[in-house]
Amino acid sequence: MKAHICCIGADFGASGGKMSVGTFTGERVVIEEIHRFENRPVFLHETFYWDFLRLFYELKCGISKAAAQYAGGIRSIGIDTWGVDFGLLDTHGELLSNPVSYRDKRTQGILEEVSAILSDQEIFMHSGECTMEINTIYQLYALRKTRSDSLNQADKLLMMPDLFTYFLTGEPLSEFSEAVTTQLLDQTSTRWSTYLLSKLGLPEHIFPDIIFPGTRIGTTISHLNQELGIPALDVVAVGSHDAASAIAGLPISRTNIKKPWAFIIIGTWSVIGVEVHNAPIITDETYKLGFSNEGNVRNRFALQKIISGLWLLQECRHAWMKREGRTITWDEISESASEAEGFTNIIDVDDPIFTSKSLDMLETIAQYYKRTGQPLHLEPGAVARTIYEGLVFKFKQGALDIETITGQSPEIVYLTGGGANNARLCQWIADALNVVAVTGTPETTAAGNILLQLQAAGEIGDVDEGREMLSNSYHLTYLTPQQNEATIWNQAFERYIHFLDHQ
């Protein structure tokens, strides 16, 4: 019998991280979570930093746990994180400072300054990426504007997942899907855009070579192996942008992959999109509708729209726990939302007021209600319900826009991410979008991460082979739309659109 193969998938999110081990039996993958930890930025001297040293410590803890629990041995590790944030290395390969969080205020107002040099549409046509104030291109321009010594001293810029793999292997490289989030990569040529870099006065030499998902980077360095008491592990470039790994890990059968399908990732950030093959869709219409072409596995792209996601609710939860002095579970929040009256208020979760890190999100929501002339329904259940509804409205608009761009309306939508554990939210999505919503796939990021490691090892042929295997490994739930509820959502959506049009 063929020996089982074990791989570590490390997934760093903007609010927390987890590490899992995937065991490949030859017919299926069994995934077990082995380590979980919190990730919150540290506010220091009016700047929000990521505590990279603490995160690397958690990575080592997870590797040690995996090695101890899986006596048969771990073959490889792959790392995915959120997008846009980066660290700078000096000529000695040392980190110049902790990476700054995309929630930091340094990019506020920078869009207008950059647009005086390059229009948003021009940047889109070169990068395929939709403009967001938090994108790396704007962070770097803000850094250049302040004449920061760190940019002048930098020898290499490494995106967050590449920073982790660098300190594991010593290899400074840039994985494709994460590089796309910089808005500085020409997706057609898959090279850094010298045009955009030169127009903005950004140094070209700090950007590393591009590698693709499913590529072996190297092995863990010897002193780390000695410290942890482990044999050398292969380090593989997976879909290093967590969304790319999540899409790769969708459990789509060979039958369903032939139908019009879409995906929704419900996390700190939420994403709705479809997979496209061979070339990104870089058109005027794509730009006008606010869609991006994100990097995926080789020769595949994700046409998608990024939405603020559960960020607002996560911040509300922290505020509620601080006020009440106790832990509030997500089940409590979901239950209180389901019991609250529906459609009393409207929150545009992408409103700029919610972009930056707030010291009190509840106060920010109150300010938003006052600004938009809405009643102050600030009870926890009411706030949670309104945020969930705001997300669903965004998903519905996204599905309509996908049909406009591609000519196909999704029939099946695969739901993943932490929010996919919320059964009521998932049913609302099925009702509002009038689609079959597939749940039961909470570990798609870990699954995609691990599948790409198996592909790098030659154990599976391609991602679709892995997806078919996953579809036979999970107990999936298919939620069909309830027509009475669909009508209610359509009416509420019309009011939502009217609200946005008059802001």
**Active site amino acids:** 242
Is residue 37 within a helix (H) or strand (E), and if so which, with residue range? strand 29-38
The answer to whether the beta carbons of residues 184 and 178 sit under 8 Å apart is: no
Q: Which residues pair with 192 in a beta bridge?
A: 185
Please give the Cα distance from 396 to 301 (Å, whole number): 21
Q: Tokens at residue 140, please?
A: 């770097």
What are the φ/ψ torsions at residue 19 (nearest 5 degrees)? -130, 140
| Torsion angle of C-alpha atoms 182, 187, 191, 192, degrees rounded to 10 | -30
* 132 within 8 A of 269, measured Cβ to Cβ: no
Q: DSSP character for 100?
A: B
Distances (CA, A) of 61 to 74, 106, 182, 224: 14, 33, 29, 12
Instruction: Name, in order, each residue with C-beta under 8 angstroms of 251's C-beta and a sequence gap of 6 or more.
Output: 414, 441, 444, 447, 467, 470, 471, 473, 474, 476
User: How far apart, in whole angstroms, are the C-alpha atoms of residue 399 and residue 433?
Assistant: 7
Task: List helix spans (H) across 273-379.
Answer: 284-288, 311-324, 330-339, 361-371
Whole-Å CA distances, 69 to 6, 32, 55, 457: 11, 11, 21, 22
Q: Is 6 exposed, middle or buried (0-12, 13-18, 19+ CB in 10 A)?
A: buried
Question: Could you tell me the two tokens for 90?
Answer: 């000096």
| Long-range CB contacts (within 8 A, 24+) of 197-200 | 199/117, 199/118, 200/114, 200/117, 200/118, 200/137, 200/140, 200/141, 200/144
The candidate with the shortest Cα–Cα distance to 24, out of 496, 483, 478, 465, is 465
Q: Is 147 exposed, middle or buried (0-12, 13-18, 19+ CB in 10 A)?
A: exposed
Cα→Cα distances 305→118, 129, 273, 282, Å: 22, 10, 6, 14
Main-chain dihedrals φ then ψ at residue 70, nearest 5 degrees: -115, 85
CB-based contacts of 330: which residues, under 8 Å, 6+ apart? Answer: 317, 418, 421, 422
| Contact status, residue 188 vs residue 279, Cβ threshold 8 Å | yes
CA–CA gap between residue 138 and residue 105 (Å, rounded): 12
Pairing of the two strands 436-439 and 412-416: parallel
